Chain A
């Protein structure tokens, strides 16, 4: 095909487009992604029995704020990495700040506790299953996110995949909070972060294939 003909045919197919189209699409697909993660919690893991009293207290919301912030950082990173020439510096700084706050909070909490209680605070009762549960819920949610994010044009597909994984994991971990009764900052900072990181790493591998364009 001659290039001039190609240009003519491309110009014939030109619906008005906005730069927020791609973001809106990812946001839209976060709804079904959250939906399947939620049904995973409800039908498979079960809601925490004390949910009603938990939502009245601050720790439930602090946990949700941490995971939701990770999700937002993932979204912003994906948006920057998905646009050719855009710099991911600012969302990367945000991500580092979120992780630092969580780690700092955990350390302060542990230092304020009796030394022989510290191990229990870190391990809780579900340390062994927490990261894999987040991974499973993330796997349920991931197809929606990665499908929607294919509209982006990442020059580094693995990084964009990690960002999409972070978004997915933040979403999944937030929903997982409806099941998980752990309440210490130390537990969340270690095991939630590990689960989220795991999904981000798998997302990087997935991104290398799904984000080709």
Chain B
């Protein structure tokens, strides 16, 4: 650890003198250590951690004159990283966010297209008898297997298959005709 401190310190001193190569090495080294540091402390993972790594590197760059060479370099860099982390958490606390991936279950229901489609579907299925409608809804919309849906609605599997087949026929007959009819009206 003491070795690392003196190694980083040497890079920092060269960087302060304008040595771009030393600066690149220093920042890359810090980035590699900051990444796990932030990841361990954030709830929603990777992208925020990378943002914080970059913010910290920018701060270390912009505020490099505030390092006092009589003091530990790692303590200075760590304090900046912690400041950026606290700042981030505070901002997040004010407006609590959840990653969108986890919310997709909710969001998928809310697109306009889905709404229109669901309404059409409900209307189409409404021509079927109730028990048949429930069965086909579970198989084709909810996504149960035929066996599961059959059991749920008191069909044998074979009877369920027949029922689904009949439903399709009825729907096709009704809406193929309906489509033709509406074409006529146009």
Contact = CB atoms under 8 A, between A and B. Distances in A.
Q: Do A and B come from one complex?
A: yes
Interface of A: 1, 3-4, 6-8, 10-12, 14-19, 21-22, 82-86, 151-153, 155, 213
A153 B28 CA distance: 22
A10 B23 contact: yes
Q: Closest 9 interchain pairs by CB?
A: A84-B79, A153-B63, A16-B18, A85-B75, A11-B20, A85-B79, A7-B27, A11-B24, A21-B65
A22 B66 CA distance: 7
A181 B15 CA distance: 52
B16 A83 contact: no
Contacts of A153: 59, 63, 66, 80, 83
A213 B72 contact: no
Contacts of A22: 65-66
B83 A155 contact: yes
A213 B59 contact: yes
B76 A84 contact: yes
B163 interface: no
B71 A85 contact: yes
A86 B68 contact: yes
Interface of B: 15-21, 23-24, 27-28, 31, 50, 53-54, 57-59, 61-69, 71-72, 75-76, 78-80, 83
Contacts of B24: 7-8, 11
A82 B68 CA distance: 11
Given A3-B54, A84-B80, A19 B68 contact: yes
A12 B20 CA distance: 7
Nearest to A16: B18
B23 A83 contact: no
A155 B66 CA distance: 12
A6 B53 CA distance: 11
Nearest to B86: A155
Nearest to B15: A14
Contacts of B21: 11
A12 B72 CA distance: 26
Given A10-B23, A11-B24, A14-B15, A83 B66 contact: yes
Given A14-B18, A152-B63, 5 more contacts: A14-B15, A83-B71, A84-B63, A85-B78, A213-B59
B54 A6 contact: yes
B16 A84 contact: no
Nearest to A5: B54
A10 B68 contact: no
A82 to B, nearest CB: 6
A21 to B, nearest CB: 5
A83 B15 CA distance: 18
Contacts of B68: 19, 83, 86
Residue picked from B50, B68, B72, B75, most chain A C-beta under 10 Å: B68
Contact of A151 (B17, B65, B79): B65
Nearest to A20: B65
B76 A7 contact: no
14 contacts: A3-B57, A10-B23, A11-B23, A11-B24, A14-B19, A15-B18, A17-B65, A19-B68, A22-B66, A83-B66, A85-B71, A86-B68, A86-B71, A153-B59
A12 B19 CA distance: 10
A84 B31 CA distance: 18
A17 B64 contact: yes
